[in-house]
Structure 1
Amino acid sequence: MPERSPWSCILWDVDGTIVDASEGILRRLTTTLEHFGLRPPTRGELVHWIGPPMFESFQVNVGMTPEQATEAVAFYRGLNKTEGFTGSAKLYPGVADIIHEVQAAGIPQATASSKPEIQVVALMDHFGLAPAFTATVGATLDERTLSSKADIVAEALRRLEAAGVDTSRPVLVGDRHHDVEGATANEVPVIFVRWGFSWPHESEGAQAAVDTPEELRALLLVPDVQV
């Protein structure tokens, strides 16, 4: 049966929503913080690092100054470039299938990620998802010019509109409170997924929260019943 969506377009967070890049992030953070004489995070502490821009996280989590954080981000990104943007990253089971089904239903999609856009592009290409997105949007490489989730969501909507997409009924799929806050600033409702790196309270303010891809799919696609 043909399917449609209650949404005119769908925005996707990447880390913790589509892609699990935690193994590589933990490895690079360990190397970076040890380089600067700081204790690296445990895997359990990754929740404090995955989601916000790294420039912000180095300041909030380990007390770096903006200047030190700039240096740390550059060092971290250098490791990322050496290892390759897709190394050790993997898809969350079932999510890519939903993205392809949404594409097949003719619903425009865009990424709205706090990862540098060059990395988002590489990941979507690597996993064969690039054709499903009308716009692939991420942060600027310095994570300062374009970094806040609110600005990234606004940019994703702008690029979709420029492509002729109806953005009157958008939704963002994400896994952190930054997603909820950034989308809300743009009057975009959020479907919160709980398989990423988040605390239970972070779903507050979302229109809905789901535990499985099947639950997410049911909110994004419905049978197109002809009366």
Structure 2
Amino acid sequence: MPSRSPWTCVLWDVDGTIVDASDGILRRLTICLEHFGKRPPTRAELVHWIGPPMYESFQVNVGMTPEESTEAVAFYRRLGKADGYTTGARLFPGIAELITDVAAAGIPQATASSKPEVQVVALMDHFDLSPSLTAIVGATPDERTLSAKSDIVAEALRRLHAAGVDISRPVLVGDRHHDVEGGAERGVPVIFVRWGFSWPHESEGAQAVVDDVDRLRALLLVREHAPEPAGTAAMGADG
């Protein structure tokens, strides 16, 4: 049966929502922080790193100055470029199929990620999701000019609108409080997914919270029922 959506377009966070890149992030963070004489995070502490812009995270998590953070981000990104942006990354189960099905239902989609856009493009190409996306939006290379989630959401909506998309009823799918807050600043409701890297309280303010892709699918796509054949109701009434 065909599907429709209560939304005119869907925005997607990437890390923790579409892609699990935690193995590569942990490895690069370990190398980077040891290089700068800082203690690297444990896997459990990755929750503090995945989601916010790295420029912000180096300051908040290890007390770097803005200047030190700029240097650390540059070093970290050099490691990522040497690794290859897709090394160690994997999709969360069922998410690629859902994105493909949303596209097949005629609902325009875009990424709205705090990762540098060049990395988001590489990941979407790698996982063959680019054909399902009208726009691929991420942070600017310096992760400062365009990095706040609210600004990235606004840019994603701007590009969709420029492509002729109806942006009157957008929704953002994400896994961190930055997504909820950034969406709220732009008047975009958020569906919060719990399979990413977050604390339980981070979903506060989201329009809906889901634990699995099936539940997310039910919120993004609604099955249209085929009309009953002519005379069916009358036949039932006649017994």
Bin of the TM-score, shorter chain as denominator length: over 0.9
Equivalent in the alignment of 1:139: 139
Equivalent in the alignment of 2:186: 186
Residues 46-73 of structure 1: CA distance to partner in whole angstroms, max 9, x if unpaired?
0000000000000000000000000000
Sequence identity of aligned pairs in percent?
A: 77
- SS of the residue corresponding to residue 136 of structure 2 reads strand
Equivalent pairs, count: 227
Equivalent in the alignment of 1:107: 107
Distance in 2, matches of 1:157 and 1:62, equals 34
The structure with the larger Rg is 2
Equivalent in the alignment of 1:148: 148
Q: Which runs of 4+ in 1 moved over 3 A?
A: none
Residues 168-199 of structure 1: CA distance to partner in whole angstroms, max 9, x if unpaired?
00000000000000000000000000000000
Equivalent in the alignment of 1:43: 43
Equivalent in the alignment of 1:94: 94
- SS of the residue corresponding to residue 25 of structure 2 reads helix
Distance in 1, matches of 2:104 and 2:66, equals 44
**Long gaps (5+) in structure 1:** none
Equivalent in the alignment of 1:160: 160
Equivalent in the alignment of 2:32: 32
Please tell me the residue identity of whatever aligns with 2:38.
L
Pairwise CA distance, 1:223? 1.1
Distance in 2, matches of 1:32 and 1:143, equals 17
- SS of the residue corresponding to residue 121 of structure 1 reads helix
Distance in 1, matches of 2:19 and 2:193, equals 12
Please tell me the residue identity of whatever aligns with 2:55.
F
Matched, 1:210 2:235: no
Coordinate RMSD, CA, aligned: 0.6
Equivalent in the alignment of 2:200: 200
Residues 130-171 of structure 1: CA distance to partner in whole angstroms, max 9, x if unpaired?
000000000001100000000000000000000000000000
Equivalent in the alignment of 2:230: none
Pairwise CA distance, 1:224? 2.1
Equivalent in the alignment of 2:169: 169
- SS of the residue corresponding to residue 209 of structure 1 reads strand
Distance in 2, matches of 1:111 and 1:94, equals 17
Residues 65-122 of structure 1: CA distance to partner in whole angstroms, max 9, x if unpaired?
0000000000000000000000000000001110000010000000000000000000
Please tell me the residue identity of whatever aligns with 1:22.
S
Distance in 2, matches of 1:93 and 1:75, equals 31
Distance in 1, matches of 2:223 and 2:197, equals 31
- SS of the residue corresponding to residue 206 of structure 2 reads coil
Equivalent in the alignment of 1:65: 65
Please tell me the residue identity of whatever aligns with 1:43.
R
Pairwise CA distance, 1:226? 5.7
TM-score, normalization by structure 1: 0.99
**Long gaps (5+) in structure 2:** 228-239
Distance in 1, matches of 2:223 and 2:125, equals 29
Please tell me the residue identity of whatever aligns with 1:112.
A
Please tell me the residue identity of whatever aligns with 2:106.
G
